[in-house]
Amino acid sequence: MPTVTSTDDTKIAFDRVGSGPAVILVNGATAYRAFDPSMTHLAELLGKHFTVYNYDRRGRGDSGDTRPFAKEREIEDLQALVENAGGKAMVFGISSGAVVSLDATAVTPGITRVAVYEPSLIVDDSRQSVPADYAEHLMTLAAEGKRDEAVEYFLTQAVGIPSEYIGGMKQDQAMWSGVTGVAHTLAYDAAFVGDVMQGKPLPRDRWVNVTMPVLVVDGGASDAWIHHGADALANVLPHASRHTLAGPPELKSRNERRFPQKDSRSCFFYQRRCIQLSSAVKAYPLLLLAQINLIIPSHGNGVGVYLPEIYIASMYTRSHSMSNRKDCYLLGLSRGNNSVC
């Protein structure tokens, strides 16, 4: 298992697949390779055209965790991966990982392009903001070893899951133990996002040094606060473009069914929505794949790479197990009018 050594000597574990321009995937809160396979699936698909780094963030999975924590440590972890990639890389971040990606980009010249999907930003009163002491409270719970309480606090305050659903989620012991096992890292994410989930306008100076192209993406069926946050981010970044994925009709209608049952064991909760696990396993990596492809205008030779949304809709109804031909079809890569398939 490959690792890089961060500035404070912490070992950061990662998988590297494929060949081509480097892309580093930055996951959100509680996610790591052994627990959440979506980024692994995404890395495998992109590996046919890119060198993809999929890593366990500090304190999760196979990566180390040197105390005390500071935001700079996570940024240094990402910088170590960029250095391993030859000093230049593109970055894709999701949820709180999107904010980590932007903060790292602001101080890392080697990051050449960024894409973020539904960053954790609450910029108005379209939903309840997190408490003012959100980050501090999570740090206290971590210091006291109150892992269950930390996860419950994160799910109800940041994700927005009603408290009556927590009991059902706990019944899935494998899932709950996977999340509580990294509960102390919720405070790490909160250090990045706690001050931008307060229902206030984004600071205009935080990412003023992010001068490279940034694609800000959200899903068409997501809640209003997510759209507002994405819009606000695009407005404060020097060189941002904005894209909303409409998604296939099947995915949109499923996302609009919020909290269909109190027994949440069959739910994958993302951005306050209960998505049936059987469908999420198929659809979620495809959405991620679309995001990262949208930011790559040149595939080493000036040839554009773009994944039309129609490929998501068509692949959504196909089998999850794919032959090489289906993989190529899924990527939807084209050079002019000629498919690379």
**Structural domain contains residue 44:** yes
Tell me which of 214 and 101 has the higher pLDDT.
101
All residues at 6 or more sequence positions from 310 whose CB lies less than 8 Å from its CB, including other chains = none
Tell me which of 217 and 143 has the higher pLDDT.
143
Question: What's the pLDDT at 61?
Answer: 96
Mean pLDDT of the chain, nearest integer: 77
Tell me which of 268 and 208 has the higher pLDDT.
208
Q: Which of 4-8, 30-34, 294-298 has the highest mean pLDDT?
A: 4-8
pLDDT (mean) for 23-39: 89
Tokens 């269909």, residue? 260
Note if the bond before 37 is cis, omega within 30 degrees.
no
**Structural domain contains residue 153:** no
* Number of independent structural domains in the chain: 1
Q: Are strands 51-55 and 22-26 parallel, antiparallel or unpaired?
A: parallel
**Residue 336 reports pLDDT greater than 90:** no
Q: pLDDT band for 246, please (50, 70, 90 cuts).
A: low
Alpha-carbon gap, residue 197 to 13, rounded angstroms: 29
**Structural domain contains residue 262:** no
Question: What's the pLDDT at 170?
Answer: 87
Strand segments (E) across 168-209 = none
Alpha-carbon gap, residue 188 to 30, rounded angstroms: 10
Reported as a single tens digit per residue, the pLDDT across 118-148 is: 899 999 999 999 999 999 999 999 999 999 9
pLDDT (mean) for 175-182: 92
Helices (H) and strands (E) in the chain, counts: 13, 12
**Residue 87 reports pLDDT greater than 70:** yes
Tokens 């999975």, residue? 61
Residues β-bridged to residue 61: none
Question: What's the pLDDT at 180?
Answer: 95
Reduced 3-state DSSP string for 224-286 = HHHHHHHHHHHHHCCCEEEEEECCCHHHHHHHCCCCCCCCHHHEEEECCEEEEHHHHHHHHHH
**Structural domain contains residue 176:** no
Cα separations (Å) of 183 from 31, 58, 180, 331, 332? 11, 12, 5, 35, 38
Question: What's the pLDDT at 174?
Answer: 85
| DSSP 8-state symbol, 31 | -
Q: Which two tokens stand for residue 37?
A: 């396979």
CATH of the domain at 116: 3.40.50.1820
Q: pLDDT band for 303, please (50, 70, 90 cuts).
A: very low
Question: What's the pLDDT at 299?
Answer: 34
Alpha-carbon gap, residue 84 to 203, rounded angstroms: 32
Question: What's the pLDDT at 11?
Answer: 98
What are residue 146's phi and psi, to 5 degrees? -90, 75
Question: What's the pLDDT at 164?
Answer: 86
For the chain, how long is the longest CA-to-CA vector?
59
Tell me which of 235 and 164 has the higher pLDDT.
235
For residue 283, the enclosing domain spans 3-122+200-254+276-339
**Structural domain contains residue 155:** no
**Structural domain contains residue 178:** no
Strand, helix or coil for residue 146 = coil
* Element containing residue 218 per DSSP (H, E): strand 214-219
Alpha-carbon gap, residue 150 to 174, rounded angstroms: 17
> Which amino acid, one-letter code, is at 185?
T
**Of 113-117, 139-143, 303-307, minimum mean pLDDT range:** 303-307
Give the pTM.
0.79
Reported as a single tens digit per residue, the pLDDT across 45-70 is: 778 778 999 999 999 999 999 999 99
**Structural domain contains residue 211:** yes
**Structural domain contains residue 167:** no
Sort 94 into a burial class: Cβ within 10 Å, 0-12 / 13-18 / 19+.
Answer: buried
